[in-house]
Amino acid sequence: MLAGAVVLGGSLLGPQALSEDATAAPAVKAWPDKADGFASLGGGTTGGAAGKTVTVTSFAELEKYATAQDPYVIKVGGTLKYPTMGNEVRVASNKTVIGAGTKGEIVGGGFFLKKGVSNVIIRNLTIRDTRMPDDDPDDDSYDYDAIQIDTADHIWIDHNRLERMNDGLIDSRKDTTNLTVSWNIINENHKTFGIGWTDNVTSQVTIHHNWCGTQSRNPSIDNVANAHLYNNYLQNTGSGNWSRGKSNTVIENRGLYPASWTPTPVRGKADGGGDGDAIGGDWNPDT
């Protein structure tokens, strides 16, 4: 079994079993403030917990605190529209960027974690809308990602909604490692989640409880030392999980569902450095 892997008992409930309780009121859940999977190794991923908490309501404030050298918990207190389409804020080490309640939205841009960045949490945000109509359907001309990570380590991407970006929703590139991607809604995109762009086989990644309604790279895994995927849902996608190169990949309890099933996000309390609602929970079919 992979180091840091979670032991799972039983199997996922199928659509029929889930539909029997589809009318029940969703339970409110408290989400832990600690990453699991590979992001929990080597001291864990704590983000900006050692620093001050600030609330930002403008792009300028977000950029100021995200790029600072000091640790910060940065609460996004509203819809922040980037002034330049496709811009990616350079997030420095020891940061938590988290939506405040249900308000946190990043529109028209995303985040970039460069080589050497470590200990970053991105949580409870909607990141959306950098599509360029002149680049459809392949999305090759504009590199407008929601989250791009280049040789960073100890990264936790949790309880976000990522959609309608012109390139990838998540690109974990080069030698990024100790990455956990959990409980995200990943939707309406051509390129979903690419992992690789390296000849080195050193990366470790955990991917669990994500819902994907996208075309390709769900995810695409290339030259990853250890990848653990479990309890991910793929609905009406153009492709499934793709492990290639020298990757060592374990896939457990993957759900494949037809287009008629719409995910219902269940709200819960996000304790990752701030209070509020986190997108995610148990997805129940509407039909």
Residue 45's domain is classified under what CATH number? Answer: 2.160.20.10
Residue 2 covered by a domain: no
In a domain, 52, yes or no: yes
**CA-to-CA dists, residue 103 to 75, 97, 183, 277, angstroms:** 10, 13, 18, 9
Which residue type occupies 57?
Answer: T
Low-confidence residues of the chain: pLDDT under 70: 1-29, 135-140, 255-287
- Confirm whether 186 is domain-assigned: yes
Question: d(Cα 142, Cα 243) in Å, to the nearest integer?
Answer: 26
Taking the model in full, what pTM does it have? 0.80
Question: Could you report the per-residue pLDDT of 223-240, keeping only the tens digit for each?
Answer: 999 999 999 988 877 777
Residue 19 lies in a domain: no
For residue 204, what are the domain limits?
A: 27-278
Res 255: pLDDT: 67
Dist. CA 123–CA 125, nearest whole Å: 6
| pLDDT computed for residue 189 by the predictor | 78
Does 148 fall in a domain? yes
Asked if residue 90 is part of any domain, the answer here is yes
Instruction: Give the model confidence (pLDDT) of 256-284 as tens digits.
Output: 655 555 544 433 333 332 222 222 333 33
Q: What does the pLDDT look like over 74-106, one tens digit per residue?
A: 999 999 999 999 999 999 999 999 999 999 999
- What residues contact residue 249 under an 8 Å CB cut-off, 6+ apart? 221, 224, 227, 228, 229, 241, 243
Return d(Cα 180, Cα 178) in angstroms, integer.
Answer: 7
Q: Is 217 a catalytic residue?
A: yes
Q: Which of 217, 244, 254, 267 is catalytic?
A: 217
Q: Does residue 69 lie in a domain region? A: yes
Number of structural domains (the chain) is 1
15 in any annotated domain? no
Look at phi and psi of residue 257 and say left if phi exceeds 0, alpha if psi is from -120 to 50, else beta: beta
| C-alpha to C-alpha distances, 99 to 79, 106, 179, 190, 200, nearest whole angstrom | 10, 10, 20, 25, 34
How many CA atoms lie within 13 Å of 23's alpha carbon, on the beta-carbon side?
Answer: 1
Q: What is the pLDDT of residue 26?
A: 56
Return the bridge partners of 269, or none: 30, 277
